[in-house]
Amino acid sequence: LGRNRWQRGASEAAIALLTQALDLTAARRTDPIAARLHELLSQIHEQQGRVAEALHHVREFLACQQRIHGQDTQRRVRALLGRADLERAQQHAENERRRGDELATALDAARESERQKQALLAQLSQQSDMLRQLAREDGLTGLSNRRGFMMLAQHSLQLCTRQNIPAALVFIDLDHLKQVNDQLGHAEGDRVLVTF
């Protein structure tokens, strides 16, 4: 509703609705929704010439994005730890099968091995998804790399076309980054990029 009001020229009504929605997200810690709300509020304030408010909402948008990225990283770590646990469990099942002399024990171990194989296949599928995501992200900044950008751009353009929303693309160039690298070293240049 807030976006629609803004697009119809009712900026103040849009700000009120979006701020109200933002207050609701604060209680529920829903960072993806809060990020979108901050992004819309920054656009409206920028359009109205309120640079300080726009900057505040851009910073909040980036903070939400960082939290989302941190949650994704935690999920990846849990997946890797789960894989290690699965491998340990698989090794244990293998040892039990070797020690077992009776047919019933061997059959039980074979069933366990099959179950673990299925769990491992599911884990490998998750890891494959994680690797696909890592292939779309820049290792230094965590932002989308070219592949990720192209996928996002294509999706965004399709969405804008379907919803008849104007689209814009902004390119940013950091001036004098080569001088920072030459004078202070590439590690400092990397810190500048990450900070920016």
Backbone angles phi, psi at 171, to 5 degrees: -105, 140
Beta bridge partners, 144, equal 137
What's the CA gap between 190 and 196, in Å, rounded?
Answer: 10
118 CB burial (10 A radius; 0-12, 13-18, 19+):
exposed
Place of tokens 């992004």: 39
pTM of the shown model: 0.35
Express each pLDDT in 118-167 by its tens digit.
999 999 998 888 887 778 888 888 888 888 888 889 999 999 999 999 98
Express each pLDDT in 65-123 by its tens digit.
888 787 777 778 788 888 888 888 888 888 877 787 778 887 888 899 999 999 999 99
State the amino acid at position 173 in one-letter form: D
Beta bridge partners, 137, equal 144
In total, the chain counts a number of residues equal to 196
Contact 168, 187 (CB under 8 A): no
Which two three-digit tokens encode residue 87?
């491998």
